[in-house]
DNA sequence: TTTTTACGTCAGCCATGTTGACGTATATCG
DNA sequence: CGATATACGTCAACATGGCTGACGTAAAAA
């Protein structure tokens, strides 16, 4: 294959560096999602289901609109997978206490089991990468990834950067 | 929304750390691809076209099977977008010199222009993130991302790690 | 000369995103 | 209290981009 070019010119190096970052994102994401994708197909589910399950386990009691805000898809798209997950007993909904229009989402036991099965490989990938790279590299990784993200969701990761704001979105 | 939990338990912290990494990947990737997606729709293209254009500019003269190996999709899926790009004059094919069965791919001027338009925002995102995080963090980012990737494609990034072994890790 | 390889194409299926229109229950505002 | 806004749901139609399976052609390799 045509080789990855490398050169002494600092301007070029910078360009090369940026390109590399794009590819790192592409390859890491591709490999990161490959295994869960296979597991999901056993259940007749897809990536969309995985994301819903993930965020419901992450934020138990999350509302539909909050989930929409995270996934940034339309409610019709979400509805398709969510209602499937509810119908098949992976997720339960119950009305919000203060606002009974809301449907707060939670995983059932079955849902948690699936979530765990899906996360296992990813956990291992990350754990291995973290272990091999070391604590300092991990902090660098965090910083760069946060830098790539757009503002609104960065707050989700505030903490340990040194404050407590629990911001809305 | 249910808050991101945080606690003193080291075992829990580790779990929390792994979860965060998954989310960083999700959010960074989501935001990283958002702008190009919009540009593409102006041309009637999608993410698949973007990836092809990207890797053809990255590895000019790349063959179809090499591209398939990178993208990890079927030739039928690739064919759909590739032939469209060729038909509309973004990519040209010419037979390989040593092996005339191959079709080596290259961007046309038009293709390069589109590639540049698509990369611009991403370049800026990365450049900003790199600048704000600093050189050390960037190196950490690289290491962790490489650790998440599976073996075969890591070699693509060897260089500057300071040796030539194809080693494990 | 036969077999394998590189690439292409047709046809059909599935998952997941989109828009637009419309409906219901509850909360909130004037 | 009545009007309006909000949270959520649903139906229908469409596009993209994966997939499998079957079949074809030209060139390389055995």
Q: Give me B147's structure tokens.
A: 């650790």
| pLDDT band (50, 70, 90) for residue B146 | very high
Q: In whole angstroms, how far apart are CA A86 and each of A82, A111, B87? A: 6, 10, 45
Q: Give me B130's structure tokens.
A: 């790199």
| pLDDT band (50, 70, 90) for residue B11 | low
pLDDT for the residue numbered A80 = 96
Query: Given CB atoms, is A6 within the 8 Å cutoff of chain B?
Result: yes
pLDDT tens digit string along A2-26?
Answer: 444 444 555 666 889 999 999 999 9
Q: Give me B61's structure tokens.
A: 């003269």
Among the partner-chain residues B72, B125, B134, the one whose CB lies closest to the CB of A30 is: B72
- Inspect the interface and report whether the beta carbons of A149 and B22 lie closer than 8 Å: no
Interface of B with A in 28-47 (CB under 8 A): 28-32, 34
Domains by residue range for chain B, with CATH: 32-151 (1.10.10.10)
Which is nearest to A27 in space by CA: B85, B137, B151?
A: B151
pLDDT tens digit string along A50-92?
Answer: 999 999 999 999 999 999 999 999 999 999 999 999 999 999 9
pLDDT for the residue numbered B12 = 64
CA distance A119 to A107: 14
**pLDDT surpassing 70 at residue B54:** yes
């Amino acid at each position: 294959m045509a080789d990855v070019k490398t050169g002494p010119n600092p301007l070029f190096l910078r360009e090369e560096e940026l390109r590399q970052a794009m590819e790192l994102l592409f390859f890491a994401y591709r490999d990161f999602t490959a295994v869960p994708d296979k597991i999901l197909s056993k259940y007749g589910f897809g990536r969309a289901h995985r994301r819903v399950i993930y965020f419901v386990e992450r934020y138990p009691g999350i509302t539909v609109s909050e989930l929409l805000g995270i996934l940034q898809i339309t409610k019709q798209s979400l509805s398709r997978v969510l209602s499937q997950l509810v119908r098949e007993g992976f997720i339960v909904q119950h009305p919000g206490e203060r606002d009974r229009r809301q449907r707060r989402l939670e995983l059932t036991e079955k849902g948690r089991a699936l979530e765990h099965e899906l996360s296992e490989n990813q956990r291992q990938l990350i754990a291995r990468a973290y272990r091999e790279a070391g604590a300092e590299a991990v902090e660098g990784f965090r910083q760069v990834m946060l830098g790539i993200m757009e503002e609104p969701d960065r707050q989700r990761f505030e903490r340990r950067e040194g404050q407590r704001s629990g911001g809305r979105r």
